[in-house]
Chains A and B, each alone.
Chain A
Amino acid sequence: MSARQYARDLGMGARFAVTGGREGWVRTALTAVGVGMGVALLLLTTALPGVVSARHAVEEARADYTFAVHPLPKGDDTLLLADTGTWWRTKSVRGRLLEPEGPKAPLPPGVDRFPAKGEMLVSPALGELLASGDAQLLRERLPYRITGTIGAKGLLGPRELVYYAGAEGLKPKAGGARTERLRTFGDPQPDTAQADPVLLMMVLVVFVVLLMPVAVFIAAAVRFGGERRDRRLAALRLVGADGRTTRRIAAGEALAGSLIGLVVGAGLFLAGRRIAGSVTVMGESFYPAYLDPSPLLALLVALAVPACAVLVTLLAMRGVVIEPLGVVRTAVPARRRLWWRLLLPLAGLALLYPMFGQGHSGGDFNQYLVIAGVLLFLIGVTALLPWLVERAVARLDPGPLSWHLAVRRLQLSSGTAARTVNGVAVAVAGAIALQMLFAGVQGQYEKNTGKDPSRAQLEIALSDHSRVGPAAAAIARTKGVRASVGLATASLGEKPRDADAALDVIVGDCASLRELAHLPSCRDGDTFALAGPEYGTEFDRASRDAVLRPGHDAYIDPGYADVQGLSVPVAVPEHLRWATARGDSLMPRANGLLVTPAALPKAAEPALSGEVFVRMDQALPDVQEYVRNTAARVDPVADIMAVTPTETSARYTSLRTGMLIGASCVLMLIGASLLVSQLEQLRERRKLLSALVAFGTRRRTLGLSVLWQSALPITLGLLLAAAVGMGLGAVLLRMSAAEVTVVWPDVLALTGVGAGVVLAVTLLTLPPLLRMTRPDGLRTE
């Protein structure tokens, strides 16, 4: 066989893909759209590392904090910068006040000059928002004149809300406070730490789980129009083509379809890239320029997709005997065997087993073993499902006519049905495993704050304790505020310097202190020791015993080796009054002294930090915005935080966000591809369906039959997916050294989503079914 002959056969197949009139074009278009959607998602995946690193680079370049214990000395190259980041409803607004101290002060990335006092530079999206008139309350908070725009170099994405405003009189504070003195922008300690092994494993699993259904769908899409192709090949056999030639022609046809799919995919990706700049996904936006696929990975996609298409076609033709007399008989299908299908997940388990418990030791997971193991588990779903569908439908008896038609069709070609729902089953199995993994390790990345959001919804950290009183009063008068509690805190040690134990001193009037503890009686000048059976560790209790020694002095703001403290002595009374901490205290972690203002030595006041806790009427629209505006008026550098019962690691949260974005894309792809594949199946049966209607079959019967044909395999697919997903989830949890628990509502929700996608797609196919079953479908001219 010459290469020329080979090329001729492939070329003939390629011609079949694009000729054959409307029918042929529709078939090729469906394949191209199916493959194209998969390719677009693959290209997006290859571009993700670039997006992440580009955003990370911007983030590092504009980092504006130091880890200096003491403020830098003022110079002609220093800049005072205050973090005034805020929120507008659910959107984060990055804000900074800038005060250059000399001509060489560093400019933030994306900015070519400093704004003068009363002026600000804004990101395009913030400019748009402020100009829209929809954000009047935000405009009140940012009363500066807009004099310029921040460039892309200083922004994570085109929809990011950022401003830099000019300021005067900022006071630098060391140790991570909101005002810093800088000589340069950029992360002072770039992140070189090794990634958390469990998080890295989760990243790998997320990628495998999200890409696997894409591969399954590409494989399904290249098999569109298989029956018609077989008839065409039979005609070729009649005129002398041998079996091998027909296979090469089929390969050429698949190759052409997949190449067109690649072009469509690249087109979809580029179109998506163009609009990527105008959309925000879960609060994040991206510059289209960031979405550049890695050339090597893009090349891999370009080669792997056509190769996969040819391979799938040739594999699919194994069971087909194409005879010259125009008769295509499916070779008597051998009963599907279970043993090798079971081996796949077992092999996956064998690969993952050696890594059990490794999450504990902080050791690395072998990423190749993780990928291969998870892949084998998920391929196990695609291998087991046809066996399961075949066995299950073989036992079903005909009932009502629609059921009868569906069961018989499934019995005749259970493979087609299993292929159709394979993608959904794999996606659901992967999602269940991931969900279990995320739920199982959440405890490792989530910290309980002990705070009760029903008692206070906002916590405002003021830049200066002297603002506590005015701030609490102003906030109390704000629309929608039910109560505000002002407190000031400082640290308390048993020695003036290098204290071994540290407690808190919390200063507030009696009413405010009662928000923390049950006070027996209280008037200004009183001091209480805070106690409670439920709070604190052994270490907390030991610290308390060390610092609160009746009759001895304790020291407010003790100094340490490299930090100069005020070290103000305060006498611990002989008869110290104890106050029991409230179970719902506003400061659940507080441990130390509660002091009324008159009992606090004047000299200790500069050491205090002020905080205001706010209780609001949350039913009032924009109530948080009113409070933020009041706080910004009283203290422009105030840090306002929402009170939450838990705090979650940022990396864990962004991984989870990434997974949700990816899962949404995959589900959309699955829905769209499933729709395309069902339409293709209907199209192939159009004439038969028209004939059935011609002799009086009710369309309802046909519709129900289509529904059963989807419902049966998807039910089996989801049962299998739940079993494999939970198995894989348990394995991943054992690897992470986390307790294996199944969150049944999550499992039910995910299988429900899978079922919902199939049901929605089936319902969407009903109108085309009704159109296709019109009797004029019998016309041939």
Chain B
Amino acid sequence: MTPPDGSLLVARDLRKSYGPTAALDGAAFSVHPGEVVAVMGPSGSGKSTLLHCLAGIVRPDSGSITYAGRELTTLSDSERSALRRGEFGFVFQFGQLVPELTCVENVALPLRLNGTPRKEAERAALTWMERLEVDDLRRKRPGEVSGGQGQRVAVARALVTGPRVVFADEPTGALDSLNGERVMELLTDAARSTDAAVVLVTHEARVAAWSDREIVVRDGRSRDMERSA
């Protein structure tokens, strides 16, 4: 169930400190189903912390986060883990693929975490790998593929469970521009085709251009940006 305004994930007045450092200081955020929102800001501005709070990875010190009508900040660790397993997908800057698993096993991993049998999970994984044009890497290990290929495998892994929100933290940060463009194209296309919202943390305007809306985080506070035509 989504809130009246149609937002899938809404955060209000988020505050989070690490020791004396305030990473978030009253940040706000919202995203609709199928919408791609870019979170921008300089290094250390708090954008990754905002993403981690939104995804239920880190609990904020105060403020509220509502996902599909449920208050995330009051959920237990295991409830938030279950939410991440079933409803969210993740793409990190360096892919963070498990080096000892093959690419297809990496993509199938979130399904296996949900209890899907291995063969079935790998079949579904292969479908996504085909969509992201990396199905020929299925038997290779992450150490044997290029950065761009690895990142596409990571995108397939983020989408394989059919998440309602994909969190992408600097997904092209380690790629050259050509590979970065391709990854963004595949990620946003795939997300839109499944009506999944995308929360995209980046500091590159070129990457943010793939989004529908931009939010700038500076000194722990967020601000909606008007997009110029």
Residues of A within 8 A of B (CB): 329-330, 398, 401, 404-405, 408-409, 411-413, 687-688, 691-698, 701, 775-776, 778-781
Contacts and interface: CB of A to CB of B under 8 A. Distances in A.
Interface in B72-99: 81-86, 88-90, 92, 96, 98-99
B3 interface: no
Contacts of A775: 52, 57-58
Residue from A329, A688, A694 having most chain B Cβ neighbours under 10 A: A694
A44 to B, nearest CB: 39
A176 B141 CA distance: 78
A694 B118 contact: no
B113 A405 contact: no
A778 B118 contact: no
Given A695-B84, A775-B58, A781-B44, A401 B100 contact: no
Give the interface size class of chain B: 35 or more
B209 interface: no
Contacts of B112: 401, 404
B113 A698 contact: yes
Contacts of A688: 96, 98-99
Nearest to A398: B118
A692 B86 CA distance: 14
A409 B113 CA distance: 17
B105 interface: yes
Nearest to B106: A408
B90 A691 contact: yes
A686 to B, nearest CB: 11
B100 A695 contact: no
A405 B118 CA distance: 12
B55 interface: yes
Contacts of A409: 100
B88 A695 contact: yes
Given A398-B105, A687-B96, A778-B169, 8 more contacts: A330-B143, A404-B118, A412-B141, A688-B96, A694-B57, A695-B110, A696-B88, A779-B48
Nearest to A413: B100
A695 B155 CA distance: 13
A692 B92 CA distance: 11
Contacts of A694: 52, 55, 57, 84, 90
B110 A776 contact: no
A776 B52 contact: yes
A696 B100 contact: no
Interface of B: 18, 43-44, 48-49, 52, 55, 57-58, 81-86, 88-90, 92, 96, 98-102, 105, 109-110, 112-113, 118, 141, 143, 158, 169
B113 A701 contact: yes
Contacts of B96: 687-688, 691-692
Contacts of A697: 81, 85, 109, 113
Contacts of A779: 18, 48-49, 52
Contacts of B102: 408
B94 to A, nearest CB: 8
Contacts of A701: 113
A775 B101 CA distance: 21
A408 B57 contact: no
A408 B85 CA distance: 22
25 contacts: A329-B143, A398-B105, A404-B112, A408-B102, A409-B100, A411-B100, A691-B92, A693-B81, A694-B90, A695-B88, A695-B89, A695-B113, A696-B81, A696-B85, A696-B86, A696-B88, A696-B113, A697-B85, A701-B113, A775-B58, A776-B52, A778-B52, A778-B92, A779-B18, A781-B44
A729 B117 CA distance: 48
Given A691-B92, A694-B57, A701-B113, A412 B99 contact: yes
A779 B19 CA distance: 14
A405 B101 contact: yes
B84 A696 contact: yes
Nearest to B101: A408
Contact of A776 (B58, B89, B90, B100): B58
A405 B106 CA distance: 10
Contacts of A405: 98, 100-101
Contacts, number: 83
A531 to B, nearest CB: 78
Contacts of A778: 48, 52, 57, 92, 169
Going nearest first, the 4 A-B pairs with the smallest beta carbon separation are A696-B85, A775-B57, A691-B96, A696-B84
A86 B44 CA distance: 75
A287 to B, nearest CB: 50
A692 B98 contact: yes
Contacts of A693: 81
Nearest to B93: A780
A695 B99 contact: no
Contacts of B48: 778-780
Contacts of B101: 404-405, 408
Nearest to A780: B48
Nearest to B118: A398
Contacts of A696: 81-86, 88, 110, 113
Nearest to B43: A781
A404 B108 CA distance: 12
Residue from B57, B110, B118 having most chain A Cβ neighbours under 10 A: B57
A695 B107 CA distance: 12
A742 B227 CA distance: 82
B209 to A, nearest CB: 25
Contacts of A698: 81, 113
A781 B143 CA distance: 26
A453 to B, nearest CB: 59
B171 to A, nearest CB: 13
A523 to B, nearest CB: 88
A60 to B, nearest CB: 62
Nearest to A775: B57
A691 B48 CA distance: 13
A227 to B, nearest CB: 10
Contacts of A687: 96
Contacts of B143: 329-330
A193 B81 CA distance: 74
A272 to B, nearest CB: 38
Nearest to B154: A691
Residue from A330, A413, A691 having most chain B Cβ neighbours under 10 A: A691
B23 to A, nearest CB: 8
B118 to A, nearest CB: 6
Residue from B81, B89, B110 having most chain A Cβ neighbours under 10 A: B81
A753 B48 CA distance: 47
Nearest to B89: A695
B184 to A, nearest CB: 20
Contacts of A329: 143
A780 B51 CA distance: 14
Nearest to A777: B57
Contacts of A330: 143
A780 B93 CA distance: 11
B229 to A, nearest CB: 35
A688 B99 CA distance: 9
Contacts of A401: 109, 112-113
A623 B18 CA distance: 65
Contact of A695 (B18, B49, B90): B90
Given A701-B113, A781-B44, A695 B85 contact: yes
A531 B95 CA distance: 90
A778 B96 CA distance: 10
Contacts of B89: 695
A404 B90 contact: no
A347 B49 CA distance: 61
A46 B226 CA distance: 76
Contacts of B88: 695-696
A720 B83 CA distance: 45
A174 B89 CA distance: 93
A168 B209 CA distance: 108
Contacts of B118: 398, 404
A399 B18 CA distance: 40
Nearest to B121: A401
Contacts of B83: 696
